[in-house]
Amino acid sequence: MPKRATSFELTLPPRPAGAVSAYRWLYAALRAEILDGRLRPGARLPATRDLATRYTLSRGTVVTAFEQLRSEGYIEGTIGSGTYVSKVLPDDLFKVGPAPVPTRAVGKPRRHLSDWARRVNPKEYYQQRPVRAFRANLPALDQFPTALWAQLTARCCRRASANFLIGCGPMGHEPLRQAVADYLNTSRGVNCVPEQVAIVPGLQEAIDLIARLFVNPGDRVCVENPGYPDAATVFAAAGARISAVSLDAEGMRIPETKATLAYVTPGHQFPTGITMSLSRRLALLEWARKSDALIIEDDYDSEYRYSGRPVPALQGLDRDGLVVFAGSFSKVLFSSLRLGYLVVPHDLVDIVKAARATMSRHPHLLEQVVLCDFITEGHFGRHLRRMREIYAERLGILLDAARTRLDGLIEIPAIEAGLQTVGWLTNGMKAEPVARALAARQMEVIPISRYRTGDDADDSDAREGLQLGFAAIDAHEIRRGIDELARVLARSASD
């Protein structure tokens, strides 16, 4: 067990007036702290000099109490070089089995959950597991320049002023808003000024923010089907009626009904990878105009384009303030950064600002400043170019291996952007049993059916496919994955 420093001050119960000697009191108080678990095994005790000053004792008294505890096995180490709570306490050695669980029925308080809390779904969202074929939704984190990031962070801390320690406005760090606006105007076909940009703690929270501002219980919200489930979860928690709208080769079809909100991923549809055609984008804007609807354009990973002509963002085609553009640094940098951005129409800036101030105020300023430096000093552009090359190569390896090993078993369409694609199963094979068989072979593939909602979820005619991530895994793992896939699919096809 590693040794831990206690950086907080130890608070001991007051010494009772009268008979107990100072040494006895200190010995008993420290022993009680240790046995009650407030001072845990491995924790560092305060220096004898500090304890003496804090409790107005002579240093000799503290040293004697420490010696007594040491001789009984409660603490270890030497005075002067650090004293620690022993890893195995003498009292543990005499214990037989675990401490009994209290049997007294503890009165359960009656909770009055909100309607939102009743609708929100418990789910596992934090998954730290080994990266293997064909993990989707993840960049190649081993390629991230962490040493450079650490240098920028250290520099930012060294220069931190009192103002920096106070924080920034609810829309985020001004220079970062400027840098994001420059990047989006130049590279993503977004049309905005920095005042429209809000820096947010991740795109997921941005979707929640928009739902809070625009969705009342009973309102209709259109989502793609199949689509990003965590967006639908947010709208369902807000009490929306969800319309799951199916896709064709050009992206989400135009909804047949009016709605308050439509949520789309036009750059690289989640999970199928389709890039929404220009004509579909224009038709969707026309639908939003006629329905008085707002569109959330989720641009979570389309920075990485491998082929095809770049299609301007929906936001860049919008002249009427119908689109809120939302992006994330989770896929281009790393997801624990928890930074994303919103580009909102001019008339919504004030309400978004008010909502941000009411929610989490602003994301961590240190990360915002480091990210800003990373972008403005040219590292971001370099990182994007380097990763685009790596991912394009990995996609090529996946497609080549699939052509030779999976011919007739799976169809992988040409995707233009993103970190993952789809393998559509042929020969009437079902994706769920295939995914289960692959899991037994240390592989991770998600059936597209898990992203379907509404009536389509049980549609037996719906195409069966597997989401295949290629960005986070190297050439060796991609080839291993294809070999395993070939074995499992060949067996399923002959069953």
Q: Is 270 in the site for ligand PLP (CB under 6 A)?
A: yes
The H-or-E segment that residue 264 falls in is strand 261-264
Q: Which is nearer to ligand PLP, 221 or 489 (CB)?
A: 221
Least Å distance, CB 63 to ligand PLP, is 53
Least Å distance, CB 215 to ligand PLP, is 17
Q: Which amino acid is at 76?
A: E
- Please name which of 488, 343, 339, 495 lies closest in space to residue 423, comparing C-alpha atoms: 488
Total count of residues recorded for the chain: 495
Least Å distance, CB 87 to ligand PLP, is 39
CA distance 1 to 430: 48
Q: Which is nearer to ligand PLP, 52 or 337 (CB)?
A: 337
Residue from 83, 233, 328, 420 binding ligand PLP (CB under 6 A): 328
Given a contact cutoff of 8 angstroms between Cβ atoms, the answer to whether 423 and 465 are in contact is yes
Report how many helices (DSSP H) and strands (DSSP E) the chain contains, helices first.
17, 14
Q: Which amino acid is at 105?
A: A
Site string for ligand PLP, 198-217 (x = CB under 6 A): ----xxx-------------
Q: Is 269 in the site for ligand PLP (CB under 6 A)?
A: no
- Please name which of 468, 470, 203, 154 lies closest in space to residue 335, comparing C-alpha atoms: 203
Q: Is 255 in the site for ligand PLP (CB under 6 A)?
A: no
Alpha-carbon Rg for the chain, nearest whole angstrom, is 29
Q: Which is nearer to ligand PLP, 8 or 126 (CB)?
A: 126
Q: Which is nearer to ligand PLP, 226 or 423 (CB)?
A: 226
Q: Which amino acid is at 482?
A: I
- Phi/psi for 63 (5° steps) reads -60, -40
Least Å distance, CB 356 to ligand PLP, is 15
Q: Which is nearer to ligand PLP, 61 or 265 (CB)?
A: 265
Q: Which is nearer to ligand PLP, 265 or 291 (CB)?
A: 265
Q: Is 335 in the site for ligand PLP (CB under 6 A)?
A: yes
Q: Which is nearer to ligand PLP, 191 or 265 (CB)?
A: 265
Q: Which is nearer to ligand PLP, 39 or 136 (CB)?
A: 136
Residue from 25, 66, 214, 228 binding ligand PLP (CB under 6 A): 228
Q: Which is nearer to ligand PLP, 66 or 270 (CB)?
A: 270
Least Å distance, CB 368 to ligand PLP, is 14
How many residues contact ligand PLP, by CB under 6 A? 13
Q: Counting beta carbons within 10 angstroms of the beta carbon of residue 454, is it exposed (0 to 12), middle (13 to 18) or buried (19 or more)?
A: middle
Given a contact cutoff of 8 angstroms between Cβ atoms, the answer to whether 422 and 272 are in contact is yes
Q: Is 251 in the site for ligand PLP (CB under 6 A)?
A: no
**Measured CA angle at 365 (ends 364, 366), to 5 deg:** 95
Q: Which of residues 135-194 bind ligand PLP (CB under 6 A)?
A: 137
Q: Is 298 in the site for ligand PLP (CB under 6 A)?
A: yes
Binding segment toward ligand PLP, per CB under 6 A, in 47-55, 101-109, 328-336, 474-482: 328-336
Q: What burial letters (b/e) apply to 372-387, b meaning 16+ CB within 10 Å?
A: bbbbeeebbeebbeeb
**Any bridge partners for residue 261, and if so which?**
221, 294
Distances (CA, A) of 117 to 234, 239, 287, 464: 11, 11, 32, 34
CA distance 383 to 66: 55
Instruction: Dig out the tokens for 294 from the structure.
Output: 């707002």
Q: Is 265 in the site for ligand PLP (CB under 6 A)?
A: yes
Residues that bind ligand PLP (CB under 6 A): 137, 202-204, 228, 265, 270, 298, 300, 328, 330, 335, 340
